[in-house]
Structure 1
Amino acid sequence: MTATLRAMTPPLFHLAFPVTDLAQARAFYGGLLGCPEGRSSDAWVDFDFYGHQIVAHLAPGEAGHRYTSAVDGDNVPVRHFGAILAMREWQALADKLTAAGVEFIIEPHVRFKGEVGEQATMFFLDPCGNALEFKAFADLSQVFAKDVKK
């Protein structure tokens, strides 16, 4: 990649993760979340996840979340992935997931309310037990803000 292209385009993120069933992964990521499908084989499927590449690999013994960590009063799955959306998109996704009957492991809500890093967040599992978090910030400058309280 040339320096000019790198300056104009941020690098794309790639994540490979385990699933127990590729048909379920296609229905969830492609159908419910609306991620266009890319290349695939009988062992994996590429998805365009908000402009980044995620790959669901068939690995039945590896899928699922096991550990949590306390964050602002919630038990957050340690292993998770997701996206930071615009607030309007986040709310639309929360409404869509609710209407589809998705069970949240952490209901859509605002975390760190009135503090540095205030964000809307929600956690749920894909059909294979992988945890996803989607969040939104009213002020995107808060994404990497540090708490300066003493």
Structure 2
Amino acid sequence: MRETNKVFHLAIPCKDLDETVDFYEKLGCKLARRYDDRVTFDFFGDQVVCHLSPDNIDDEPKMYPRHYGVTFLDKDEYNQALEFAISKDLPFFGKPMVRFKNRKEEHLTFFLIDPANNLLEFKYYHDNSMVY
């Protein structure tokens, strides 16, 4: 069980620090630190570090096997995030969709793509027992 004294940490590649900061700040993430080779964000309460690594960018990103994001426990918060992404004209990777329709694990989801082709998934399960 997660406790409030723990923060998840994720490190990902980026190709340009300025465009990375612009994207994540538009998304609503707070820039915590910036160095010559990386930037660190408060990503919805967790830590995402984007390391300058232009030679490690996926040319043709796919949803699977690699992406990360936020699972909302409240449908209104999911809908607000979707509307926010649309209003900020953030780049979507495909259209918002329903996954596993009519199954217990059915969920709403949308993907964004950052400037380094990292995919971010935002989702909401109708049945919260399916979150884990």
TM-score range, shorter chain: 0.7 to 0.9
- RMSD over aligned CA atoms reads 2.1
Structure 1 unmatched ranges of 5 or more: 1-5, 69-75, 145-150
Given that 2:110 and 2:123 are in contact with CA atoms closer than 8 Å, whether structure 1 keeps it comes out as yes
Of 116, 140, 146, which residue of structure 1 is paired with 2:128? Answer: 140
Instruction: Indicate the structure whose relative CO is greater, using CA pairs within 8 Å and at least 6 residues apart.
Output: 2
1:59 offset after TM fit, Å?
0.5
Aligned-partner Cα distance in 1 for 2:32–2:88: 24
Aligned-partner Cα distance in 2 for 1:28–1:7: 28
Equivalent residue pairs, number: 131
State the SS of the aligned residue for 1:101.
coil
1:38 offset after TM fit, Å?
0.9
Name the TM-score, length of structure 1 as normaliser: 0.77
Q: Which residue of 2 aligns with 1:72?
A: none
Q: Which residue of 1 aligns with 2:79?
A: 91
Name the TM-score, length of structure 2 as normaliser: 0.86
Aligned-partner Cα distance in 2 for 1:46–1:36: 9
User: Does 2:6 match 1:11?
Assistant: yes
Given that 1:64 and 1:128 are in contact with CA atoms closer than 8 Å, whether structure 2 keeps it comes out as yes
Given that 1:120 and 1:137 are in contact with CA atoms closer than 8 Å, whether structure 2 keeps it comes out as yes
User: Does 2:36 match 1:42?
Assistant: yes
After superposition, where does 1:1-150 map in structure 2 within 5 Å? Answer: 8-9=3-4, 11-30=6-25, 32-64=26-58, 66=60, 68=62, 76-85=63-72, 86-144=74-132
Structure 2 unmatched ranges of 5 or more: none
